[in-house]
Amino acid sequence: MSISTEILNTTFSDLRGPLVNSFVRSNELFETLNSKARMPMEGGSLIERSFAGGAPARGVGVYVGDELLNMTRRQQTKRFKVEPHRMVVAINIPKKELNYNSGKLAVIRLIEEYPQTTMEAAKADINKYILTGVSRGLVFQTAELRGLLSLNGLVTAGIGTGVTNGLLDFAAPASQTDTVQNVAKSSSYYHFNNYLDIGTWATDGLLDLRRVYRQCSHYAGGVGKGPDIVLMDDEVYANFEETRRTNIRVSVLEDKTAKTNMLGLDLGTAQVFSSLDLARGDFAGAAAAGVTYVLNTDFIEFPMHEAPKISEFKERVGDQDVVTAIFSMQGNLICTKTPAQGCVSGGAA
């Protein structure tokens, strides 16, 4: 007996949830945002967050007792605005394939071949675009993802409110003037990201990384509130790993409970990850010599207007002899405190 749409959906109903969960936990950034409940459901035509360049009040020192209070009200309020981006994928299984197969194992094989493969490719495209502004091109071409806010400040072709330019500029704070999240960057009201360029890794690689980490921690609120994720391209990570390895003074052998930095790398309180999606060929200028993102996810969100979901398979009428399931999601990244984020160029050599 060949597989019917009903049999396909009965088996698929048990697997849709795990597929969506795997998608949300698809990379280090999404995993952290999800664990911190930084992927809330939200409505409205724009994702908006307000910030001020100064406190909304002024204090008075009392020396005599008849001093008047300063009734200053909030003078400068700006709002970050990012338009949610909608992404949709039609997952088609030819009826010819359904008629070739029978039994539950065949259904699972078809689900692995079509929906699961499509979901894995889609999350790879989205992850790479967020990091570089360029898609892998497996499911979504770059042009289809330009509604997302990319971390790469070299991006200037985003489509939609607040995403024209990428979030993190590879330039000194005083030189950052692009409009990011619908607000022009300026150090006068603390809308900028920290940045340094590594000349050569051996000379100042780790020193510059630590300095940017300290700067981000300062703007995040001080000790204990520093960045929690550092993402590096693979060449920079190799240099970082080698430096950390050579700094080990005691090597513990055959101790399964020991915690050494060979088990995992960190910078301050941040976990350090290598990402093959951070390809240096996708960057220009100083960033082409190495890319590192220093992120504080306490101030990064991915509000959802529509949580990722996959529909049941339904028969198409008229145009193609297939059954189709629709994957869709709508949302976007937004950063509520840009000085708490940083990036570093160079370090691959």
pLDDT digits (tens, 9 = 90+) for 121-168: 999 999 999 999 999 999 999 999 999 999 999 999 999 999 999 999
Among 20-34, 56-70, 185-199, 261-275, the range of highest mean pLDDT: 185-199
Q: Which residues pair with 93 in a beta bridge?
A: 323
DSSP secondary structure letter of residue 227: -
Query: Angle at CA 316, nearest 5°, toward 88 and 112?
Result: 60
- Phi/psi at 137 (5° precision): 80, 25
Among 25-39, 65-79, 105-119, 229-243, the range of highest mean pLDDT: 229-243
The pLDDT confidence band at residue 269, using thresholds 50, 70 and 90, is confident
pLDDT over 90 (residue 3): no
pLDDT over 70 (residue 2): no
Average pLDDT, the chain: 88
Span 287-316, mean pLDDT? 94
The pLDDT confidence band at residue 27, using thresholds 50, 70 and 90, is confident
Q: Which domains does the chain have, with CATH numbers?
A: 5-45+78-345 (3.90.1690)
Nearest one of 124, 112, 133, 118 to 26, comparing CA atoms: 124
Q: Looking at 250-317, which runs of residues are DSSP E strands?
A: 266-267, 270-274, 291-295, 300-301, 304-310, 314-315
Distance CA 186, CA 292 (A): 22
Span 291-317, mean pLDDT? 93
Q: What's the pLDDT at 170?
A: 97
For residues 1 and 40, the model is more confident at 40
